[in-house]
Structure 1
Amino acid sequence: MSDQRTAAHAFVTPTEAAALTTPPAVPEAPRPPRRALRAVARWTAAVLVFGGLGTGAALAITSAERDDVPGLATEDDGRWAYPKLSLPALPAGAPRPFSDANTAEIHHADLRELLLPAPAGSTPDKALDGGWVKQERFLAEYRAEDRDELAQLLTDTPPRHIAARGWTMPDGTRARIYLVRFNSTAFATHVRDELRIGVAMRWPLAGAVETEFDESWKSSRAVEGVSSYVLTEKAPHGDAHTRHAYSLAGDTLALIVHERPGEAEAARIPFQQTVILQNQLLG
């Protein structure tokens, strides 16, 4: 996966990832305690289960150390309580998107199953329920005056599918995630390039016209194969503050948005948490 991690119930560090597949060494003592024998037995059983599942296995994504994201030093750090995540099963013989056997970097899993689930305590967005959405719904995230031009780009470089999920948290923060899969990595990259993601966006979101890169985002959080561009709305903001990110993962481009109404900014830690977790699922 990656060396970036965060979020309760969500990330796996390289050390933890190794622990999922490698049983601990058997103690060298000639008569190990019963507790050690039971531990070895449990790990051996786990390895056999994972080995038997084969290519379509769903590998768990578990918790990471709290210092994987700056400021995660206490239990009450604002992180959202996402459910324990797992990678979806693949069709028989299909490789993961960034394996050596998949030079085209194609996602063979159902795109809807790659969407990050909503965290505990959230209210689902009925219009973005984790299923397919029409192109018009995706375009609605952008300014009205830019939609025709962006629609032409998507006509020239048509997506295969768009899947989306949204929810609202108790503090009013509205979260939305769109996964846009294209026919090839080249098409996804072309759309990313045409967006001209940066401080001056070619097509800014309707709720975040003036943006800047989030300087607290560290490259060490990158998931292998996934490129992320993390932005925040400049102050002073209007009726709401918006954070958003684009993530390019092979044939799929993700748009991740957190929007909080009122004077307070959308919280940085849960936003970065959402980006990291979604990237892990795409990688």
Structure 2
Amino acid sequence: MTEQLSDRPVDEAVGKSEESTAQAGESTAQASLDGAPARPRCSRRVLWAVARWTAALVVCGGAGAGAAMGITAADREDVPGLATESDGRWEYPRLSLPALPADRPRPFTEGNDGEVHHADVRELLLPAPTGATPDPKLTGGFVSTDAYLSLYAKESRDELRRGLADSTLRHVAARGWTTPDGTRTSIHLLRFSSVAYAESYADEMLDVHSASGPKALPDGVEYVVPEDFPDDIEVPETKAVAFREKKPHGPEQVRWAYVQAGDTLALITQTRAGEALEVPFRQTVTLQNQLLG
């Protein structure tokens, strides 16, 4: 079968097409001249697809940003895999130096040649750490000379008592506690009338800088080299020395530390069954030293 063609001439159909195109162009140009926007030729289907993809990207981006903000704002311990294990240190309350009487300087400032602590010595005692049980006999107040001397061997107490009398001892303040692991801590602050008397008692009566161990402490005590302590234990103008019982020792081990700061001498002890742990001991000595310095 022969295909039927249009009964219009080819030239006529082309002419009509060109005429229609010209008319459309004239209409668009006229619309542009009149200020009306040209009619877009994009398919609605295409526009909807673009809108859906844009919305999906916005949602994903928002979720990612929210997750990143959540990780940034959370505490390190709250994020799995980022928690820091305890290194054995105790949790102490926030520490601050006590207020001084009006016009009274700190112990190591100009004009205080006697290096006197004008603050109440009881307020210079380190507080007990969180969770510790306070010692009912060492509550942070003043204690007797005999209570302090009970830390030493009986054969040394009379000589030390005479030394304290000659050194014009003013007060002894003390605090003690026991932590859940069984460590017993005691801190005694001896305040003298001047730095000269405090140094004399520490050097001559106690011989705290002796490499073989100070006087009055039990036999079998060894000196802890200062380099074994962290850098922050070195508080300017103060002196800290530490000792421990050598191994083998009895069922308990005791650690001692002296801090000489101006007119005040601190004695810090820690006792624990088996072994007195090094980390909390260093921490306690460091913090008490900082309060005195």
* Structure 1 ranges of 4+ moved more than 3 A: none
- In the alignment, which of 133, 138, 145 is matched to residue 143 of structure 2? 133
1:237 corresponds to which of 241, 249, 262: 249
1:193-248 alpha-carbon deviations (Å, 9 max, x no partner): 12112343342335x64222245125653111111011221111112111110000
CA distance in 2 between partners of 1:228 and 1:267 (Å) = 18
Deviation track 1:157-207 (CA, whole Å, cap 9, x = no partner) reads: 13100000000011110000000000111000001112112343342335x
Is this contact kept in 2: 1:199–1:210, CA < 8 A? no
CA distance in 1, matches of 2:222, 2:162: 24
Matched, 1:204 2:200: no
- Quick one: which amino acid aligns to residue 160 of structure 2? L
- Do structure 1's residue 228 and structure 2's residue 229 form an aligned pair? no
Structure in which a larger fraction of residues adopt helix = 2
Secondary structure at the counterpart of residue 125 of structure 1: strand
Is 2:187 the counterpart of 1:177? yes
Which residue identity is paired with 2:246?
K
Question: Can you list the C-alpha shifts for 1:123-157, whole angstroms capped at 9, x where unaligned?
Answer: 00010000000000000000011111111111211
Given the alignment, which residue of 228, 231, 254 partners 1:216?
228
SS of 2:276 mapped into structure 1: coil
Structure of higher RCO (CA pairs closer than 8 Å, 6+ residues apart): 1
Q: Distance in 1 between matches of 2:187 and 2:172?
A: 10
**Structure 2 gap ranges (5+):** 1-83
Q: How does 1:10-159 map to 2 (within 5 A)?
A: 74-159=84-169
Distance (Å, rounded) in 2 between the aligned partners of 1:84 and 1:205: 33
Query: Which of 273, 277, 280 is matched with 2:287 structurally?
Result: 277
Q: State the alpha-carbon separation in 2 of the partners of residues 203 and 133 from structure 1.
A: 22
Residue matched to 2:57 = none
Pick one of 181, 203, 224 that aligns with 1:193.
Answer: 203
Larger radius of gyration: 2
Percent identity of paired positions between Structure 1 and Structure 2: 52
Q: For residue 55 of structure 1, what is the aligned residue in structure 2? A: none
Letter in 1 for 2:216: P
Change (3 A) 1:232 1:163: same
Normalising by structure 2, what TM-score? 0.68
Cα separation, 2, equivalents of 1:141 and 1:225: 27
| Matches of 1:130 and 1:75, distance apart in 2 | 32
Q: Alignment partner of 1:85: what SS? A: coil
